[in-house]
A and B are shown apart, each in its own frame.
Chain A
Amino acid sequence: MPISRDEASRALGEIEGAHDRIREITAYGYAAPYFLVWGAVWLIADIGTQLGPLIVREWLWPAASSLGVLVSIALSVTQNRAGRYARPRLGWRVYGVMAAVAAFCVAVIAVFQPMSVKQSHSLFGLVAGFAYLLEGLWLGWRLIALGVALIALTLVGFYTLSLFGGYLVFMGVVGGGALILGGLWLRRI
């Protein structure tokens, strides 16, 4: 069976295309549980902070996000099974981006304080949305769509609701809910 160099080149291109597709699917599979975990954290912490008893409001976000970090670490340990062709190319860089985003938010809040509760919550929503959008540029368009949705919903909440008019409930439901729905969407592929 004679194979020309052009034909070999085309075949290798087809192989690379198939590997890229699997890599994208694998990346979605990796990302999905993190969306579910952080969606739940956001949902519970924001709604609890707005509607819960005074005694839990102070520690709910730190406690829920600490739990989220622990669960995320456990997830990353169990996710090291992908075949060598399909392992997402980013690897530790995904966690690096997340850590940089968190550090950036803390630094911005430190510089711009005093910030209102609405401003600081919106900042986290916007920056998280941008982080998803940027990671989507490498990992696939669905993450871009989720990032854009998160940014848009955060802006809608900021400009249309007051803090005591249900802003945190809105952010919990749409922000956390968007992440949960996004996680389910990514997992379905």
Chain B
Amino acid sequence: MGPDEIIHQSLRLRIMATLVALPRSEAIEFPRLKALLKATDGNLGAHVTTLENAGYVAVAKDFVDRKPRTRISMTPAGRRAYESHVAYLRSLIDGTASEG
């Protein structure tokens, strides 16, 4: 068990923490996620793409009332990676894993 470099970046960690707290398999719309995390469009978009490329989140785009909608959800692989990373962080605090 070790740190996950992709998840550990601050905004990506908060994205994952938010997604994992949603009801299972539920997606969140991009503007709502942006508001929750107080992030900018560009910054959030870039980090979501990084997580998507890693297979940790799924991004679904469609149209509702002719308006584009982007929804983001956590994949099972993302959930496993997140939980493993959090377990590692906790083990550092508990002293059961070594720093560095």
Contacts and interface: CB of A to CB of B under 8 A. Distances in A.
Given A1-B8, A9-B93, A82-B23, A15 B17 contact: yes
B23 A22 contact: no
| Most B C-beta atoms less than 10 A away, residue of A9, A23, A81, A86 | A86
B18 A2 contact: no
Contact of B100 (A2, A14, A25, A83): A2
B36 A4 contact: no
Contacts of A1: 3, 5, 8
Contacts, number: 67
Q: What bracket does the count of chain A residues touching chain B fall in?
A: 20 to 34
A18 interface: yes
A83 B24 contact: yes
Contacts of B89: 3, 8, 11-12
Interface string A1-40: 1111100110110110111011101000000000000000
A85 interface: yes
B93 A15 contact: no
Main secondary structure on B side of the interface with A = helix
B90 A12 contact: yes
B18 A18 contact: yes
A5 B89 CA distance: 8
Given A11-B8, A12-B89, A3 B21 contact: no
B81 to A, nearest CB: 14
A86 B74 CA distance: 15
Contacts of B13: 11, 14-15
A83 to B, nearest CB: 5
Contact of B18 (A11, A12, A21): A21
B23 A18 contact: no
Nearest to A83: B23
A15 B13 CA distance: 7
| Most A C-beta atoms less than 10 A away, residue of B22, B86, B100 | B22
B8 A3 contact: yes
A19 B10 CA distance: 14
A92 B14 CA distance: 29
List the 10 closest A-B pairs by CB distance, nearest first.
Answer: A2-B100, A18-B17, A22-B21, A85-B21, A8-B92, A86-B21, A8-B89, A15-B17, A83-B23, A1-B5
Interface of B: 3, 5, 8, 10, 13-14, 17-18, 20-24, 26, 36-37, 86, 89-90, 92-93, 99-100
